[in-house]
Amino acid sequence: MPKFTDVKILDYVEKSNYRNQTFAEWIEADFAYQVATDLQIQAIEQAYYSKKRSELPLSKEFGSIVQMEHDLLNVLTDMEMLGVYVDKQELYELSSELQAKSRLLLAEMQDLVGETFNPLSAKQVQHILYDRMRIPTGKKIKTGFSVDSETLAEIAKSHAIAGMILDYRGYEKLRSTYCEWLIEHINPETHRIHTTYKQTFTSTGRLSSENPNLQNIPAGDGYAARIKSAFRPESADMQYVVADYSQVELRVLAMLSWDENLLQVFKNGEDIHTRTAKFLFPTYEKITSDQRRIAKSVNFGVIYGITGFGLSKMIKTSPKDATIYIDTFFAQYPKVRTYYDDIITKAKTTGYVETYYGRRRTIKGLNDANSMMRAAAEREAINMPVQGTAADIVKLAMIQLQKEIHAGNIPGQLIMQVHDELVLEVPNAWVPEAMQKLADVMEGILSIGGISLKVDVHSGKNWTEAKD
């Protein structure tokens, strides 16, 4: 146990529904103490922390999680301080290129409809499409009719303008949210981006990242790949080594549920999505890419507590067929169903659910009068132990890695965490060794039911190259 306890961590671990309150709000809520001025807050903060740190008894049941978070705190500090280099020039160029694209497209669109309008304004897009062009309306939202990408993609089949609006939005998204926002956060002294990882925020135990968020950098081809490739070591003497857990949540689901079939898939080293596809489409000799896509959605959906309706939207089929897929999944992986049932039963009794390592989330609403509320609470309940255990695993790996790095056993620096992925900067000469050790540490974190974790490791001159 740590000699001193960071009370914010303790509070987070004990009350998983705790959100980012200000210190004042927190004191108020916990101690019914009205805080008036900034100076008072500071004084109380100091007094409270120093007193509580030495006197707080640590409840045993949270011991392992509290220890984990304390160890992780130092890892996160190192990562934030070191930061991530990005090629500023490259981002500038991308930004202007994207801006040129949008400008051109905007002129074309306004020519086409004979009216100036802002494609980023839902209200104005509604006016253009549904009032002026008389295109049949679809999904309703609070403020009128939806113009989201799903709707626009459908309209685009018959009206070019919809496709152009989608493209415009895409360019502007990349330009403003990624190029511009990242450039803004390059520290003038270090020339690196220093994100903030929020350690006491999410309800599952994941980290989050802000200012800027490095956990939602676009993946994919084209401009997205170019943004990602701007992330690279500053020096040509270094490379990125990227390791990500393969299907970690489904693997965790197998471990926690002890479903024989699910465990067997991983024991055999089979592709989980293809395997599920074979269960869903047993009469087919060979699984098509479309069938695998459907199975993939089912596999992911199960982790999120899918409904037939939700899945049907995802794979564009009828809710009836979608429900059949889900039922088939549970018929083929029967222990998953009983595992979920057990979680909900336990949550109703104790008021909380927990990860393999004992991280808890209190669940409210399981007995709500409203069935929608109940269903939502059930989805939260079944998702948290899986997502949370995966989060715990990555945290443990980070702690272990940092130990090895400090001991000189792994040559390199941990610079980013993206939920199931860790990114390191490594001197060229040591890349193969770092890759091996990284995989060993990460895969060694947990083994249950005869299966262990699997990690894919890649290296490259930048984040894009190191992804495959």
Partner DNA sequence: GCAGGGACGTAC
Partner DNA sequence: GACGTACGTCCCTGCA
The nearer residue to DNA, 266 or 463, going by C-beta atoms, is: 463
Query: Does residue number 344 form part of the binding site for DNA (CB under 7 A)?
Result: no
Query: Does residue number 132 form part of the binding site for DNA (CB under 7 A)?
Result: no
Q: How far is the CB of 146 from DNA (least distance, A)?
A: 4
Query: Does residue number 308 form part of the binding site for DNA (CB under 7 A)?
Result: yes
In angstroms, the CA 357 to CA 464 distance is 33
Own/partner pairs for 398-406, CB < 8 Å, 24+ apart? 398/72, 398/75, 398/422, 399/68, 399/71, 399/72, 399/75, 400/441, 400/445, 401/75, 401/438, 401/441, 401/442, 402/74, 402/75, 402/78, 404/437, 404/441
Q: Which one of 64, 146, 246, 274 is in contact with DNA (CB under 7 A)?
A: 146
Nearest CA among 257, 380, 389 for reference residue 329? 257
| Count of CA atoms in the C-beta half-sphere (13 A) of 224 | 9
Site for DNA, residues 377 to 406, rule: CB under 7 A: 379-380, 383-384, 387
In angstroms, the CA 398 to CA 78 distance is 11
Please work out, in degrees rounded to the nearest 5, the angle formed at the alpha carbon of residue 203 by the alpha carbons of 198 and 207: 30
Pull the structure tokens for residue 258.
Answer: 């002890």
The nearer residue to DNA, 44 or 225, going by C-beta atoms, is: 225
Q: How far is the CB of 3 from DNA (least distance, A)?
A: 30
Site for DNA, residues 103 to 122, rule: CB under 7 A: 118, 120-122
The nearer residue to DNA, 170 or 412, going by C-beta atoms, is: 170
Query: Does residue number 139 form part of the binding site for DNA (CB under 7 A)?
Result: yes
Strand partners, 352: 362
Q: How far is the CB of 149 from DNA (least distance, A)?
A: 3
In angstroms, the CA 421 to CA 244 distance is 4
The nearer residue to DNA, 120 or 448, going by C-beta atoms, is: 120
Among the listed ranges 50-58, 99-107, 168-176, 274-282, the one in contact with DNA (CB under 7 A) is 168-176
The nearer residue to DNA, 206 or 275, going by C-beta atoms, is: 206
Do the bridges between strand 421-427 and strand 238-245 make them parallel or antiparallel, or are there none, so unpaired? antiparallel
Site for DNA, residues 196 to 235, rule: CB under 7 A: 198, 201-204, 206, 208-213, 215-220, 224
Q: How far is the CB of 20 from DNA (least distance, A)?
A: 8
Q: How far is the CB of 154 from DNA (least distance, A)?
A: 12
Nearest CA among 316, 370, 368 for reference residue 347? 368
Q: How far is the CB of 76 from DNA (least distance, A)?
A: 14
Q: Which one of 60, 132, 313, 406 is in contact with DNA (CB under 7 A)?
A: 313
Q: How far is the CB of 70 from DNA (least distance, A)?
A: 21
What track of x and - describes contact with DNA for positions 46 through 85 (by CB under 7 A)? ----------------------------------------
Strand partners, 427: 238
Q: How far is the CB of 196 from DNA (least distance, A)?
A: 8
Radius of gyration of the chain (CA): 25
In angstroms, the CA 401 to CA 391 distance is 15
Query: Does residue number 362 form part of the binding site for DNA (CB under 7 A)?
Result: no
Site for DNA, residues 254 to 283, rule: CB under 7 A: none
